[in-house]
Amino acid sequence: DRINAWNEESEDNLWELSGKLEGDILVTRKSLAISQDVKGLIDKSTRWPNGIIPYRIKTNQF
């Protein structure tokens, strides 16, 4: 088992050995099918104005 054989000198990242997407995401057949139907938005009217995404960080939020 590659996970149990891993040690600090291993060249592989431990999270990459899980077999899951990005190491921790379990992809079902249904979610995979849905994601393959998703397309990026090309229409410039759907983009944030001037490429700036507004956000607010609340004090003591984290």
SS3 content of the chain, % helix, strand, coil (to 5): 40, 5, 60
Give dist(CA 19, CA 26) in Å, integer.
Answer: 9
Question: What pLDDT, on a 0 to 100 scale, did the predictor assign at position 46?
Answer: 84
> Which range marks the domain in which residue 13 is found?
1-35
- Report yes or no on 46 lying in a domain: no
Is the model's pTM score more than 0.75?
Answer: no
- Report yes or no on 30 lying in a domain: yes
What pLDDT, in 10s, does the model give residues 12-51? Answer: 888 788 788 887 888 888 888 877 777 777 788 888 888 8
- Report yes or no on 53 lying in a domain: no
- Report yes or no on 1 lying in a domain: yes
Per DSSP, what are the bridge partners of residue 25?
Answer: 21
- Report yes or no on 31 lying in a domain: yes
CB atoms within 10 A of CB 28: 8
Our count of domains for the chain comes to: 1
Average pLDDT over residues 4-11: 85
